[in-house]
Structure formats: structure tokens, C-alpha cells
Amino acid sequence: MSLALLQRFAAAWNAHDLDALLLMVIDDCDFDTAAGAHGNRFVGKQALRAAFPAAWQTWPDARWEEATHFVCGQRGVSAWTFRGTDRRFRP
């Protein structure tokens, strides 16, 4: 795990680039989201392939901004501010 990887991961989210995101995760990854009452957990690359596009479909202008990252051993954490307009409320 490296800070550079977390920075590339954040950039791929902002580019809405599913293929780039999936290249940065292992096949049996665990991915916890911040969305939902307690977030959601997705296990495995195929689960992410199905789940990640929902963010861009729900918030077409989604941006993850003001990101900060840290790494401790094999774990990395990113904190950011999410900004986006829910498609249900767009004029």
C-alpha cells in the first residue's frame, strides 16, 4: 500500500474510470463505502464492477475532493469531501 496508489485511486474515482479502479484492487478485496446508514461492504472485484457505477449514475457530477490519505503497514485510508447532485433532484 502506498500514498501514490491512494492518490491514483482517488483520481480514478474523479475520472469515473471503472477500469482504472478495478486494476488497483485484488480479486478478493473488501471495500467499505461511506454511503448508507452504516456504509456498505462489497467483497470481490466482480461485486465492485457491479456496484461502483451506481455512484456515477446516482450523482452524475460526483467529485471526491479535499482528499487526505495515510498508510500504516498494509492498510491505507482516505478521507475526502464528497460533492455531487443527486440525479433525482436535478432540474
Residues with Cβ within 8 Å of residue 49, at least 6 apart in sequence: 18, 22
Question: What is the pLDDT at residue 72?
Answer: 94
Architecture per CATH, 3-89: Roll (3.10)
Mean pLDDT, the chain, rounded, equals: 90
The domains of the chain are located at 3-89
Please identify every stretch of the chain with a pLDDT value under 50, giving residue numbers as ranges. Answer: none
> pTM score, two decimals?
0.84
Q: Which of 78, 65, 60 is nearest to 2 (CA)?
A: 78
